[in-house]
Structure 1
Amino acid sequence: MPPPQSGNGIAATLLQDNFAVIPRSGVLLNGHVLYLRRSTKKYMKSPTSVARALVDLGYCCLEKLNPLKFQVGELVKKEKVFKKLTNPQEREAFMTICLAVFTLPNERPPSKSLPREPSLSPRSSPPSCHSIPNEDSSRTKMREEFRAKKDQLRSEMRTKITPKLRVLNQKLSRKENTIAQLKDLMKKTSMADELKELRKENSKLRRIQKR
């Protein structure tokens, strides 16, 4: 029989099973935000990093980053209270918090009693940040297109440009070696050496003629 999961493991499983699909628009629940915090291999421990991820997803504009960061921090504090989710009562309380609507900056809180409700009706839920101005959506789309283009250029660099540069460098290296060898050969067989040898031979010839 496998060992029972720790409270942290149970929380991760509950978030994975119920909040793994983060909506692009509509109601954003606390569970979605907590899942986003755990969705990377290494937790995004900083509320700032979670807030930036929500901005990238289009839930809020960058100008509201600081209040959004505060809201994330408050939610994380609530999550850290739960240490023994093996207890059914604690698990139920944890899920109640997860099912509550995450209040974005400049939104009116749903109601004080709402976090204790087990579920929410989409009709009664307050409007989320999907009503952001169009330019925020355009900015997000431009960032995504820029990242895709950057990834494409990096891929082309690895598969096309880098191998060609390697071949050119090899050819250049061979040419440089050939030039060095030619220079060395020219030094050994320079015209000055030939003239020197010719003078010696002429000198010998003159001595012979004088005899």
Structure 2
Amino acid sequence: MRLACLAALAVVMPAQAAVIGGFDDLRLSLTYPGGKAKTTVESGGSSATTTDAWDSANRINLDYVGGWSIPLIGVVVGAGVTADLRKNDTSTGSLEYQAYSGHVRAGPYWSLLETLNIELTGQVGYGLATVRSKAAGKETSDSGGYVEYGGDLTIDVAIPVVGLVVGVAGGYVYGGSKHDLDSGSGTSTAIKVINGNWTVTGLLGYRF
């Protein structure tokens, strides 16, 4: 009886090892957030909203991502940090927007050809954003809470020989914050910045 049980385990365990798979990645990615920002300015009882593209906009992400699967489909979860850096140049100065946040992500993924993954993930993040205005030789800034959410469709390929993973992603991110900038003489200007952008991302990582 004992020999029969051992024989059954010898058959089942390798089969389970073949069925259950997964990965653990550390990924560095650079994202271009195309699109425009909606800025609402309130001062002296009046309000004005403008929609304009940033002159420069980049997002840098560092993520730890893990996946667990049986053949073809699985679950991917991850956490990371993001630096969102944007700037507009004007005739009198510039407006800079910098947001630093932590985020979590999760969703399904499909494993093809053992080294090719297709991932569909949603994410939510929270952090701190700073608006810095430079105009006519005067600089003023303010920091406030920053919230963002979005999603990505990612295709990545592992290179087992060197342990690398490379990929591309397309997605959408929506984030914003509110600020009060000193206007001088004891007055302030309230600014609300909303970025809702389609994104294109390239990533490079290490698969453990």
TM over 0.5: no
The structure carrying a bigger helix percent of its residues is: 1
The structure carrying a bigger strand percent of its residues is: 2
**TM-score, structure 1 as length reference:** 0.22
**TM-score, structure 2 as length reference:** 0.22
